Every structure is written in structure tokens, then in C-alpha cells.
Structure 1
Amino acid sequence: MTEQTTTTTNNVPVNIEVDTSYENDSSYGDELSSYTASLTSSVIDYRHENGRRYHKFRDGLYLLPNDETENDRLDMVHELFLQLLHRRLYLAPIKSPQRVIDLATGTGIWAIDFADQHPQAEVIGCDLSPTQPTVIPPNLKFLVDDIESEWAYESDPFDFIHARNLTVSIKDFGKLLKQCYQSVKPGGLVEFQDWDGYPLSPDGSLDGTGLQQYYDVVYGAFEEAGYEVRPGVKLEQWFKEAGFVNIHVEKFVIPYGIWPKDPHLKTVGAWNKAQAEANGYEGFALAALTRHKKWTKEEVIVLASKARADGQNRDIHAMFDFYVVYGQRPENLPK
């Protein structure tokens, strides 16, 4: 099999036209249904800090909350990605998968949708937190696991491995992709979907704002703590280094807010703004800044408030780059 990389750029105009005929549309702010977890007490002995709840298994490894406020936000992020990809859960050309795993599954909403769409497949969702629902498709199960620890799936490999939205969650993506390579069948596919975490504005309207300050400060703290905050742009290289072939890269733009004139970008931007305002600013920042930078809770709230206020400014045209990358393990090469 000859190694090749296909790169496609999607919905990324050089200059996104701003919609000057703005009308308030509150519909994008409707929250998706949250799920209630019911699992063993040893696993749900959570850490409570600064008014938020965090995972206890491998305590401190993941710096975002796992409470209902965060779970609601994560379900909104799921809808954001469905809007971005025109209701597609994945882009990889999989055919009749029999065994599938969703890494860092969060609320499990992607795994549930995938299991419903592929009833013939055995689907696993794994995460540090047992915050997934108990009423799920019969072909799906959830595991509490640390995906950055050593895996034990090589003897029972997968047809498809999926991971999404791991920005600020993973310290060594290269190692993670190599573990994926070892745990996917020859000819199997692996797909990662992730951000370039820092926002940009081609017209310079983001420069010097509280919104820019927020991301500089918060992502700076994550980086100092060893987390990867810009995985999207690096995924292609990590796939190559792990040994994957037939690598396919698609780049998308996710605006912040409903300033674009294009209807699709406006909808995507609305969902992005809604999830960020669903207490996402505080949730992202609290543990990173209070644990690693010794900020007070009150200082974090002020920083988040400034970012949220700038998010209401139609003259600030912020957006993010987002990447979907998939690759195939060669069919005829040894491990």
C-alpha cells in the first residue's frame, strides 16, 4: 500500500463576510438534554472544588469539571460538531464496522448515536468519569479508563477508533496515536477531530480584547501544565509518525457567534457561542488557573466575565480552526 495524504479545506473562505442585518435568535441557545449517571459509589467519589465537581479516578489528570453543567455544555458541543459536519458523526470511509471504540467519550452522546446507526457493531465508550446514561443501545457499553495509560486492546483490536475534542485533555498525542495504531485491525481506520485552540480574527478585531486575553491566559496555563492546546494542526504529523497511511485531512472554520452572513457558518457560530456561555468560560479556567497558577476563584470569574462580554460584541469577529483527520493501518505490514 502506498502512503499518501489527502488534504481538503472546507468552509474556510479567506475573508468571512459579516452579516450586517443582525437579528437576535435565541433558538441556538436551547440546551440539549443532560444525562444522569448512576454507577458505583467507589467511582463517583468526586472531587468538589470552587463550586464545581471533578473526576476522582486518576484525580487531577483532567482539569475540566464533570458536573451536570459541564455535561450539558458537552452535549451542546456535540450538536455544534453535527452542525459543522452536516449531521455526520465521522468522515472516515468505514464499512460495516464490527468493533468500535470512542476515546474520552464524555457524556457518551457520540457513542450512543453511533451505536444507534450501526446496530451490528459492538461499541465501547471510555472516559475518566462515569457520567454517561444507563439507558443505552444494547450494543454499547461504557468503561472508566485512562486512555493515556497502557492499553490492553491489542489482542481484540477495533475496526474503527474515534476521538474528538481532546484539546486540553491529552499531554502526549503522539503516544496516543501509536496506541491507536497497535489497537486497530490491519486495514482499520482511526479518526481524530480536534481544534487549534487559540482563536483568530483575519480582520484583527480580536486583538487586545478580553476574549483574546482569556484564551492567552487559560491556554497558557494548560500548556505550562503539559497539555496540548493546538492538536488539530499537528494531527497529520502524528498520524504519519504512528505509521498510518492513506491519511486524509479536512480543515474547517468554527466562528464564535452569529456575525457571519453565510447561513451555515452563522448556525455553527451560534452553537459555539452558546456552548462557551453555558458556564464554559469558568469551567475551562477554574482548575487550570487555581491549581496551577494560584489564581483565586474571584479572579477567574472576572476574567471569564470580560471574555463573555466581548463575546456579545458583534464587531469582534473571532473564529477557530478545526481539523478532522483519519488514517488507515496498513493491511499487510507487521506491528
Structure 2
Amino acid sequence: MTTSNPLTTEEAAEAGLLPASHWQQEPLPGDVDADDGASTIGSFVSSTASLSESIFKYRTIHGRTFHSEIGNAESWQPNDAHHIDAQEVAHHNYMVAIGHKLYLSPLEKNKVGKVLDIGTGTGSWVITCFSFSTTSDFADEFPNTEVIGTDITPIQPTWTPSNCKFELDDCNAEWTWPDNTFDFIHCRMMFGVVTDWDDLFRQAYRTSKPGGWVESFVACSTMFSDDGTVKEGSAMSQWAKVWNAGGEKTGRTFMVYDHDLQQKGMEKAGFVDITVKEFIIPVGVWHKDKELAEKGIWWKMMMEADLEGYLIYIFNVVMGWTPEESTAYAKHFRKELNDPNIHAYFKARTVYGRKPHP
């Protein structure tokens, strides 16, 4: 388990971080007594990497449960019922972000025999678990394909279609699947989880079949604005600074987009036909373009679904904030999130590449 080791004053200043206590002292814009902002809202088999039964012994942090602290596997997201619901919203949000699609790789349905979804979370990419999805899940779209979803925490459905299964596995450990196993390997929003992105793509390359595809989607933590409405010192401007500093402390970077680790890792591994797709994602309801506005409202809904849950591990455990400080920050952040005069947006990227034939 990562423990708190607060940055020195000099380190915090260099990273542009405001003191955690700042958010308790700073009055909320507008009516301080106003609401924070209206919300808009398996069956498991042991994998070849074989995580121990201790995986089911969750740890509790500030009333929320997280992955077991036993072993080297680590996750910054809660795994309780509240967060599982939030992750269903997140899954739909990510599909909307890339055009209401599950993947962008040029797959040929009659040539995809075996697929791996790394860090599957609730398993929603593999099988649909909620009613508002507008896109079929992967197992449904490829009924003759064997689909495997892996994660370090067992929060996937207990019922699965006959062509898919979920396994407990840590993607940072050495993969023990045989060479040339998968026709498609998919991973999404794995920032803050992967310890070595070059190694991740090396292992993906080895276990991909010749001609197989690997795809990765990730967002940048920084919130941008073209008109200066994301002001320096605001909760939105501090968002990425805290996450990025936390990632540096855990050795599991959140700056995957910033350092272009997807494309670089695929190139080093030996993939060819590498394609990069960039996305702009507004945050909130401010954008006038219908498609971008839809992306913005879904991203906002995802963040609101469990904002405090997202903060606990990095802000409290890693960065040493008190629960009161992170709660105060969340109020400021939610206020800004619901302000249509703040024209904030993220950047995101999908990168996919093919393993060449011998």
C-alpha cells in the first residue's frame, strides 16, 4: 500500500500546487450556502498470473473499500457498489468520447478469435451491464470470439455469456499467456495504474498474434480553456497538478497523454501501422456544437457520479490531504464544473497498432 509522504514546500511550489488547506479557507464563488451544483446524472477464474485469495480481503479508507493491500497490485479507484455504479456511467462516457464506439482498430470480424481487455473494471466493455448503452458490448458484437477481461479486483458480473470470462490478473506482472495468443488487446484509461508502459506494450506485442491489433485510450488530466476561463489557482487548474504529483509518488504516472507513452511504447515494441486519433472533450454543458456538447455532459456526469471516491486514494493516501481538505476541494471543483461560463475541456487520445507478420 502506498503511504502518505507529503511534498516539501519547495517541491509543492515547483509543481504549482496550492496547500491542501487553501480549499477550506477559500470562499466558494457566489452564494457560499448554495448547493455544490446539481448533479446531472462474474464468475471468476484464476488467471495464469494467479493472484492469491487475499485479493478478496479489501481495505477500507475513509469508509470506502479499495483493492487489497497485500501484494504489489494497486488501484487508485474504489471497488464498492457506489463506484461500480459510477463506472457504468464512465464506460458509456468513453464510448461517446470516441464516437459511440467500443474500439477504433480495423478489426475483421471473421478473423478475431481471441480478445483481451486489460483493466476491465466492471467488465462493461466486455458485456453490457446497464440499460442506457447505445452500443452493443464486445462479446455481443463478436459472438464467435472468446473475450477475456482481466482486473486486479473482482467487481465484474457473476453471469457471463458463453464466449467471455473474467480473470484476476495484474497487468504489471509478467504475462504468462503464450506467445501469439490474441487477435486484439484493448486497454482503456489505465493511467495511474501501469508502472511501465514500454513493458506493457512489449508484453502485448509478444502475446498478440501476427496481424493482431493492440489499442489504448487515455485522457490528459489537464483542463484547458481557449478563453482563459480556467484560471490559474482554480480547482480545475489544480486538478492535473495534484494527480500528476500523486502519480510521480506512486510510480504509476497519470501523464500518459502528456508524454505520448502509447505511441512511443508501441513503436519500441515493434508494432506497425500505428494510428493516432485525437479527441477534444468539453467538460459541462457550455459547448454549442451538438456532438461536443454530448461529450461534455457525459464527462461531467462521470466525474459527478463519484467525485469524492475518485479523490480519496491519490489526494488523501498518497498526497496526505485530510478528508476535510479533499471534501472542501471537491465543493470548489463541483462549483466550477457546473459553471457554464467556464469553458474547460480535456484532450484524449486513442492509439492502435498492428503486430506484423514474420
TM-score normalized by structure 1?
0.84
Structure 2 residue aligned with 1:297:
323
Once residues 278 and 325 of structure 2 are traced to their aligned partners in structure 1, the CA distance between those partners, rounded to angstroms, is: 35
Q: CA deviation at 1:58?
A: 3.6
Judge conservation of contact 2:73–2:170 (CA < 8 Å) in 1: no
Structure 2 residue aligned with 1:216:
241
1:320 is aligned with what amino acid?
F
Structure 1 residue aligned with 2:103:
90
Q: Give 1:180-329 correspondences, 5 Å limit.
A: 180-208=204-232, 209-232=234-257, 233-280=260-307, 282-329=308-355
1:270 is aligned with what amino acid?
I
Percent sequence identity over aligned pairs: 35
Q: Give 1:117-196 correspondences, 5 Å limit.
A: 117-155=141-179, 157-196=181-220
Once residues 194 and 74 of structure 1 are traced to their aligned partners in structure 2, the CA distance between those partners, rounded to angstroms, is: 15
Alignment partner of 2:116 out of 95, 101, 119: 101
Structure 2 residue aligned with 1:62:
75
SS of corresponding position for 1:194:
strand
Structure 1 residue aligned with 2:87:
74
- In structure 1, stretches of 5+ residues that fail to align are 1-25, 31-36
Once residues 124 and 39 of structure 1 are traced to their aligned partners in structure 2, the CA distance between those partners, rounded to angstroms, is: 11
Distance 1:205 1:293, change over 3 A: same
Distance 1:38 1:116, change over 3 A: closer
> When the two structures are aligned, how many residues end up with a matched partner?
300
SS of corresponding position for 2:253:
coil
204-213 vs 321-330, greater mean Cα deviation:
204-213
Q: CA deviation at 1:215?
A: 2.9
Q: CA deviation at 1:241?
A: 0.9
Q: CA deviation at 1:227?
A: 1.9
Judge conservation of contact 1:128–1:145 (CA < 8 Å) in 2: yes
1:237 is aligned with what amino acid?
K
Q: CA deviation at 1:114?
A: 0.4
Distance 1:160 1:243, change over 3 A: same
Q: CA deviation at 1:65?
A: 0.8
Once residues 268 and 331 of structure 1 are traced to their aligned partners in structure 2, the CA distance between those partners, rounded to angstroms, is: 37
- In structure 2, stretches of 5+ residues that fail to align are 1-36, 46-52, 128-136
Structure 2 residue aligned with 1:44:
56
1:196-228 per-residue CA deviation (whole Å, 9 max, x = no partner) reads 221211211112212212332233222222222
Judge conservation of contact 1:167–1:197 (CA < 8 Å) in 2: no
SS of corresponding position for 1:198:
coil
Distance 1:303 1:146, change over 3 A: same
1:103-145 per-residue CA deviation (whole Å, 9 max, x = no partner) reads 0000000011101110110110000110000122110000011
1:3-49 per-residue CA deviation (whole Å, 9 max, x = no partner) reads xxxxxxxxxxxxxxxxxxxxxxx9x934xxxxxx6779754221111
